[in-house]
Structure 1
Amino acid sequence: MSLWTAGEAATATGGDASADFTATGVSIDTRTLQPGDLFVALKAERDGHDFVAKAFEAGAAAALVTHRPDDVPATAPLVIVPDVLQALEALGRAARARTRARVLGITGSVGKTSAKEMARTVLSAQGRTHAAEASYNNHWGVPLTLARMPADAEFAVIEIGMNAPGEIEPLAKMARPHVGLITTIAAAHLEAFGSLEGIATEKASIFEGLEEGGTAIFDGDLPVSQLQRIEGPAGTAGGPVLRFGTDASCHFRLRDVRLAEGRTIAQADTPAGPLTYKLDTAGRHFAMNSLGVLAAVEALGGDLVRAAMDLSRWEPPAGRGTLETVVLDPANRGEALSLLDDAFNANPASLAAALEVLASYTPTDGVGRTVKGRRVAILGDMLELGSDEMDLHAAVADDPFMADIHLVHCAGPRMRALYDALPDEKRGQWAETADDLTANPSRLVDAGDVVLVKGSKGSLVSRVVDAIRKLGHRDAL
């Protein structure tokens, strides 16, 4: 199916097309480029113009460039523009303008990608749905997602993130959502904002991009000081303002959450009546995210009850709480451990949620060296927390679910603060880096254990996940 013709791309970007073409996709990376894609030669760590020839070798239909690279034939179909990123933004705006899709924009300190994937899962059962890949939520990810949107999409889910003040509003105005959802506010990127209230102000700017009469949805359990930063912008579009959470004021109210061996049962009150539904993944935070998604589905005109039923088909993205079995001895099925890979990112709120999930699992006794199965947490540094980072790490020792954790291994200078705050019987190993823990992973875990690995992406604690997987034969649960 055609996504962009030469004429459409030139008109959208204000560029000059050197030849006719029809593109069926848009790509910024030759490693994942598909035949028929329009290659966008962005400048990042490397200049995309250095890869235009390779893009054509891989089957690109055309390339969006500022000039023809020397190694590209004069006959190659190009769209020549003054600035490639600005042209990609223009392409995204043009795609948004031509679609009749109902658009959901999602932001939040925690849970953006999970909520985006939940929305993709449930909306896909109700109409043609377009959504961002991975965590494509920044200054190039949002326009790229929009530029890839088919003209006949019925729903679109756009994830919008930030690292510094002032980043969300222009992306929201580009996406022009009919519904804006803030999952929650937490201590992520605190270093750049100074306070949770500052983060709330930035996240609330997603509502500045709402279509007239659009719906604003946000976590109603937040402290008053943060809600005050959100409520004003939430009403700027003149449409409905909805809260979700456990507070009595919430329009979508979570009444009960039960976690048990990898599943979540949620009971909620909604404007359409009470709902009971299941997630095939453990997590109170996932239940809360799902409630915000259900509110968004109804605001988009979708079927609320059907969406609640379809939530059981959602699985967390890789590195965000996925559960798998690592079989240590294939000759003896009992010699295995359960691995919770939550190593993509971390902040105090998401770590607290992960510890509750770990506490909900029952280890297996009698199959390992230690005889008793254990709940084991392997934790890497939480980054970008600002001047209070050491106190925030040490405070994890006081988490109520830490009482159910048998052993904690820590990696990184910040996690040393937690390690020192733990009681002696919970202390496992501490290492300066995650790589230091990978040298002998069999000393960290044992058969029968349930193991959580979590840390900020920059802590590289995902390498511990890989080391544990290599201990045996991995089976997905």
Structure 2
Amino acid sequence: MAKFTANWLASLFPEYQGIGSVPVQIDDVFTDSRQYTHFGLFIPIEGERFDGHEFLKDAIKNGAAASLWNKQKSVPEFVPADFPLFFVEDTLEGMQRLANAYRLKINPKVIGITGSNGKTTTKDLTANVLSEKYKTWKTKGNFNNHIGLPLSILQMPPDTEALILEMGMNHFGEIEVLTNIAQPDIAMITNIGESHIEYLGSREGIAKAKSEIVEGLKQDGCLLIDGDEPLLDPVARKTRSYRIGEGTDNDYVIKSIQLSNEETTFEVENHPYSIPALGRHQAKNATFAIVTAKILGLDKSQIESGLQQVELTGMRFEKIKTTEGTEIINDAYNASATSMKASINVIKEMDAKRKILVLGDILELGAFSKKIHRSVADVIYPPIDILYTYGEESKEMVESLRKREENRVEAYSFNTKEGLIEQLRNDLKPETIILFKGSRGMKLEKVIEEITN
């Protein structure tokens, strides 16, 4: 099914060449010239060290039927006369404008999700629940920035009815760009943590940056927020909002949260729910999905079914059983102090004789790094048995534990993955749980691969 035609593109980009009398349909949009496609629109992105315009020949060979083109650049001689080129001042801005136009053309219900933690899990939960009623499309992986979000929109099938978009950021102004492209019907701010505090200066700064999501919210849209976070009160007053949390003054109060080794159960509006994911924080993530589903007309049975069948994106509390009988928890996709503490608290509530933490550095904390790493140690106590850290900054957790008057948690820091792997191989025993958590740059999944092979 064609997404659009070259003639439709010409209405958006009036400077062009190569459009003849034969209609050209566009089935796909891509930026990687190595990707094989079928009737694709190639968008050559320019970066500091690369220029996609140099790879147009490869893109045509791999199925491009048209391309955006920076009007300041010469058109190569090899381009066929009947190959549509649409001239723009900037191809990235052109892609963003195209994504917005395509979003309006298809006109699905759009759900935009931001927050310091829980964006991807909330996206997965929301998509799974809404798919019980609607043809649903969601951000793939972490395609949540100024390039990834428009690509996510442009990759949605033309029959999409609900579009769930994750919005990430490092600096002020970035969420505003994304939300104006997406124009969400429902916006979510899952929480405010410490991620990117190096660039934003404080948790207040982080809250302000996340709150930009309402700038693109449709006029009749609504905002869902972490109602237990006072820093979100100002944005809640700016638009129609629903507060979600454990506090009794929230619009949707989460009660009776209980964890087993396999699921989390809880109540919202006196109705019980369960999800195959672990943690008090997961109950809140799921409630964002529940409230969204209610707004969009799903009934309780559809919501329950969607929550039960959810598949979370990889390396988010992913369980691996070793041949020795050890349960590995791979939560190593990324980390902030907030998410790290939440994962540690989940491990405390799980059934096992030995509980081991393997924690890597939390990156992008700047001058706040030592203080924030020390704060993680505040939740590390029995039934946790051993803490291993990897990286320079996370040593602060070990030092904090060793200074504690009554510390009953063994704590060791490692500078190399090899030393950590050698130690962990000795810890692979039955009735043992090992949690791996750290920033993406620490690549703790490499350690998991070594000890599980």
- 2:303 is aligned with 1:307: yes
Question: Which residue of the partner structure matches residue 410 of structure 2?
Answer: 427
State how far apart, in whole Å, the 2-side matches of 1:56 and 1:337 are. 50
Query: 1:264-303 counterparts in 2 under 5 A?
Result: 264-269=264-269, 274-303=270-299
Question: Which residue of the partner structure matches residue 263 of structure 1?
Answer: 263
Which amino acid letter does the alignment assign opposite residue 50 of structure 2?
R
- 2:67 is aligned with 1:63: yes
Question: Which residue of the partner structure matches residue 410 of structure 1?
Answer: 389
Which amino acid letter does the alignment assign opposite residue 47 of structure 1?
D
SS in 2 for 1:228: helix
Asked whether the 8 Å contact 1:197–1:229 carries over to 2, the reply is no
Asked whether the 8 Å contact 2:354–2:384 carries over to 1, the reply is yes
Q: CA deviation at 1:75?
A: 5.0
Describe the shift of the 1:357–1:456 C-alpha distance in structure 2 as closer, same or farther (beyond 3 A): same
Which amino acid letter does the alignment assign opposite residue 342 of structure 2?
A
CA deviation string 1:123-155 (max 9, x = no partner): 112111121111111111222122223343211
What is the root-mean-square deviation in Å for CA atoms of aligned residues?
Answer: 2.3
Q: CA deviation at 1:107?
A: 0.7
State how far apart, in whole Å, the 1-side matches of 2:200 and 2:336 are. 15
TM-score (norm 2): 0.91
Question: Which residue of the partner structure matches residue 357 of structure 1?
Answer: 346
Which amino acid letter does the alignment assign opposite residue 169 of structure 1?
E
State how far apart, in whole Å, the 1-side matches of 2:65 and 2:452 are. 40
TM-score (norm 1): 0.86
Describe the shift of the 1:241–1:442 C-alpha distance in structure 2 as closer, same or farther (beyond 3 A): same
Describe the shift of the 1:9–1:438 C-alpha distance in structure 2 as closer, same or farther (beyond 3 A): farther
Question: Which residue of the partner structure matches residue 367 of structure 1?
Answer: none
Question: Which residue of the partner structure matches residue 475 of structure 1?
Answer: none
State how far apart, in whole Å, the 1-side matches of 2:40 and 2:237 are. 42
Which amino acid letter does the alignment assign opposite residue 420 of structure 1?
E
Identical-residue share of aligned pairs (%): 29
CA deviation string 1:45-87 (max 9, x = no partner): 5322233333333333333333577595435734332321011
State how far apart, in whole Å, the 1-side matches of 2:327 and 2:46 are. 42
The farther-off stretch of 414-423 and 45-54 is 45-54
Question: Which residue of the partner structure matches residue 58 of structure 2?
Answer: 54
CA deviation string 1:97-126 (max 9, x = no partner): 212311111111111111111111111121
Describe the shift of the 1:192–1:256 C-alpha distance in structure 2 as closer, same or farther (beyond 3 A): same
Q: CA deviation at 1:425?
A: 5.4
Question: Which residue of the partner structure matches residue 167 of structure 1?
Answer: 174
Which amino acid letter does the alignment assign opposite residue 210 of structure 2?
K
Q: CA deviation at 1:388?
A: 2.4
Number of corresponding residues: 442
State how far apart, in whole Å, the 1-side matches of 2:422 and 2:4 are. 50
Which amino acid letter does the alignment assign opposite residue 296 of structure 1?
T
Q: CA deviation at 1:94?
A: 0.8
Query: 1:185-204 counterparts in 2 under 5 A?
Result: 185-204=192-211
Q: Match for 1:453 among 416, 423, 436?
A: 436
Which amino acid letter does the alignment assign opposite residue 281 of structure 1?
A
Asked whether the 8 Å contact 2:106–2:158 carries over to 1, the reply is yes
Q: CA deviation at 1:214?
A: 1.0
State how far apart, in whole Å, the 1-side matches of 2:418 and 2:18 are. 50
Question: Which residue of the partner structure matches residue 374 of structure 2?
Answer: 394
Query: 1:42-191 counterparts in 2 under 5 A?
Result: 42-44=45-47, 45-66=49-70, 70=76, 72-74=78-80, 77-82=83-88, 83-191=90-198
SS in 1 for 2:326: strand
Which amino acid letter does the alignment assign opposite residue 395 of structure 1?
S
State how far apart, in whole Å, the 1-side matches of 2:8 and 2:416 are. 50
Describe the shift of the 1:243–1:39 C-alpha distance in structure 2 as closer, same or farther (beyond 3 A): same
Asked whether the 8 Å contact 1:438–1:463 carries over to 2, the reply is no
State how far apart, in whole Å, the 2-side matches of 1:378 and 1:209 are. 40
State how far apart, in whole Å, the 1-side matches of 2:424 and 2:64 are. 43
State how far apart, in whole Å, the 2-side matches of 1:65 and 1:436 are. 51
State how far apart, in whole Å, the 2-side matches of 1:468 and 1:70 are. 52
Describe the shift of the 1:338–1:63 C-alpha distance in structure 2 as closer, same or farther (beyond 3 A): farther
Describe the shift of the 1:436–1:232 C-alpha distance in structure 2 as closer, same or farther (beyond 3 A): farther
Describe the shift of the 1:379–1:267 C-alpha distance in structure 2 as closer, same or farther (beyond 3 A): same
State how far apart, in whole Å, the 2-side matches of 1:75 and 1:35 are. 20
- 2:26 is aligned with 1:28: no
The farther-off stretch of 66-75 and 377-386 is 66-75
SS in 1 for 2:160: coil
- 2:452 is aligned with 1:469: yes
**Unmatched tracts of structure 1, length 5 or more:** 328-334, 364-372, 471-477
Asked whether the 8 Å contact 1:201–1:229 carries over to 2, the reply is no
Q: Match for 1:37 among 28, 36, 40?
A: 40
The farther-off stretch of 440-449 and 458-467 is 440-449
Q: CA deviation at 1:441?
A: 4.6
The farther-off stretch of 292-301 and 174-183 is 292-301
Describe the shift of the 1:69–1:436 C-alpha distance in structure 2 as closer, same or farther (beyond 3 A): farther
State how far apart, in whole Å, the 2-side matches of 1:220 and 1:76 are. 56
Asked whether the 8 Å contact 1:10–1:17 carries over to 2, the reply is no
Q: CA deviation at 1:7?
A: 1.5
State how far apart, in whole Å, the 1-side matches of 2:304 and 2:356 are. 32
Q: CA deviation at 1:15?
A: 4.5
Which amino acid letter does the alignment assign opposite residue 115 of structure 1?
T
Which amino acid letter does the alignment assign opposite residue 313 of structure 1?
Q
SS in 2 for 1:402: coil
Describe the shift of the 1:75–1:348 C-alpha distance in structure 2 as closer, same or farther (beyond 3 A): same
The farther-off stretch of 67-76 and 425-434 is 67-76
Which amino acid letter does the alignment assign opposite residue 243 of structure 1?
R
